[in-house]
Amino acid sequence: MTVLEDRIEMADECDELTLDGLFESLERITPEGYKVEIVEGAIFMSPQRDTHWEIILDIVEQLRAKYPRNRVKSDVRVDYPGHLNGFASDVTLVKEDAEKGAKGLWNCKDVEFVAEVISKGTAHNDYGPKKTAYARADIPVYLIVDPYQGKSHLYTQPKDGKYLTETSVAFGTDVDAATTPLGLTLKTDEFPRD
């Protein structure tokens, strides 16, 4: 191992420890019903809204028709590439053989699908740094559901920190992800709007 590789590894370990420390501190002070994420080192706390939850539940129920419960996650922390990125995505699908690491966290390399439902205060994260982090982690399918626009945005084919394909559909139109690793079509006709 070169000196540079050693320093990079130490920096990565330091970021992980810092991220763990931040989450440990935040868990003690976060009010019930709030979700906490750290995006590029910035802390975001969001209360759960009815519209938000109804869309998340709808997506989870559709995934559960195909995938077992142990693969479908919601608001579970996964650390992603970039500086201090610990996300609690609205919906996450992990691979069949995925296992938690030594710290009890899922590895982003085991994530096959992520869905984020937009909140006004954090929409810029979902469309910006989180989308970049998901692409850098090679998450094959990323879905943004935007109840303010009444649209769903499907991103696929991650390469070099960007998604090569984006498909946008209005609520009421199916999100066709049948040819992606997700392997199904998501119905949006019951997604509520804000």
H-state helical runs in 30-110: 50-64
Identity of residue 140 = P
- Which residue reads 């199904």 in tokens? 184
Whole-number pLDDT of residue 111: 98
Measured distance CA(96)–CA(85) in Å, rounded: 24
Whole-number pLDDT of residue 157: 98
Q: What is the pLDDT of residues 3-30, one digit of tens each?
A: 333 333 434 444 544 777 777 777 777 7
Q: Which residue has the higher pLDDT, 45 or 107?
A: 107
Whole-number pLDDT of residue 173: 98
Lowest mean pLDDT of 39-43, 81-85, 156-160, name the range.
39-43
Residue 140: other Cβ atoms inside 10 A:
18
Q: What is the pLDDT of residues 172-183, one digit of tens each?
A: 999 999 999 999
- Token pair, residue 147, equals 């109840």
Mean pLDDT to the nearest integer, 25-52: 76
Measured distance CA(142)–CA(166) in Å, rounded: 9
Mean pLDDT to the nearest integer, 97-118: 95
Whole-number pLDDT of residue 91: 98
Lowest mean pLDDT of 38-47, 67-76, 94-103, name the range.
38-47
Whole-number pLDDT of residue 8: 34
Share of the chain above pLDDT 90, in %: 68
- Token pair, residue 19, equals 């991220």
